[in-house]
């Protein structure tokens, strides 16, 4: 189920975070709490990888993120602004490559929270095209690029930026 209010709030907060207008602490405080829309938890988990939680800071200067990460966050924001359901299985840090995270049961605890079992990786990869995450397919992603809910005035620039990441 889509929680539009929660998606809109997280979308705004992600934009403010990556442009350096709010700190990591302010971002964490703005994450909506909802059990209705699993995309909120999944994307908030992934956003945690954009910053250090050891001290409060903004993503500017030496803490700024690179163009690749910005394109990835743009894809997350496009997903939040879309009307597509989040259809991936529940897994911590779902945007990270599942195949690189597989660990044997005896050593999985050493790699917490990113380590997963081979079964978890297989179930996750069967759900869709991981290169399009959080979209389940490239066609959903392309559809959203062609028909953005909020970015209609900047459609060409948005599509061009996202196409470079493909």
Residues 18 and 48 placed together within one structural domain of the fold: yes
pLDDT above 50 (res 109): no
Residues 15 and 78 placed together within one structural domain of the fold: yes
Largest Cα span, the chain: 52
Residues 93 and 46 placed together within one structural domain of the fold: no
140 touches 131 (CB < 8 A): no
pLDDT number for residue 91: 84
Backbone angles phi, psi at 44, to 5 degrees: -65, -40
On average, the pLDDT of the chain sits at 84
Compute CA distances 45 → 30, 39, 51, whole Å: 13, 10, 11
41: its two tokens = 């938890």
Q: Pick the more confident residue, 122 or 162.
A: 122
Residues 58 and 19 placed together within one structural domain of the fold: yes
Q: Pick the more confident residue, 107 or 74.
A: 74
Residues 56 and 138 placed together within one structural domain of the fold: yes
Enclosing domain of residue 36: 4-88+133-165
- Name the region of 22 (left: φ>0; alpha: ψ -120 to 50; beta: rest): beta
pLDDT tens digits, residue range 52-102? 888 999 999 999 999 999 999 999 999 999 999 999 998 888 887 776 656
- For the chain, what is the domain count? 2
Q: Pick the more confident residue, 110 or 137.
A: 137
**Whole-structure pTM over 0.85, yes or no?**
no
pLDDT number for residue 102: 60
58: its two tokens = 């903004």
């Amino acid at each position: 189920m889509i929680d539009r209010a929660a998606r809109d709030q997280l979308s705004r907060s992600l934009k403010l975070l990556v442009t350096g207008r709010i700190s990591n602490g302010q971002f964490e405080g703005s994450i909506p709490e909802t059990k209705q829309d699993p995309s909120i938890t999944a994307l908030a988990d992934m956003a945690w990888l954009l910053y250090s939680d050891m001290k409060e800071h903004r993503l500017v200067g030496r803490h700024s993120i690179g163009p690749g990460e910005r394109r990835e966050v743009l894809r997350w924001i496009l997903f939040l602004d879309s009307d597509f359901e989040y259809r991936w299985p529940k897994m911590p840090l779902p945007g990270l490559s599942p195949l690189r995270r597989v660990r044997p049961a005896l050593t999985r605890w050493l790699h917490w929270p990113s380590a997963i079992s081979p079964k978890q990786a297989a179930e996750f990869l069967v759900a869709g095209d991981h290169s399009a995450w959080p979209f389940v397919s490239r066609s959903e992603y392309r559809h959203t690029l062609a028909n953005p809910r909020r970015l209609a005035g900047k459609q060409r620039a948005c599509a061009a930026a996202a196409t470079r990441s493909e």
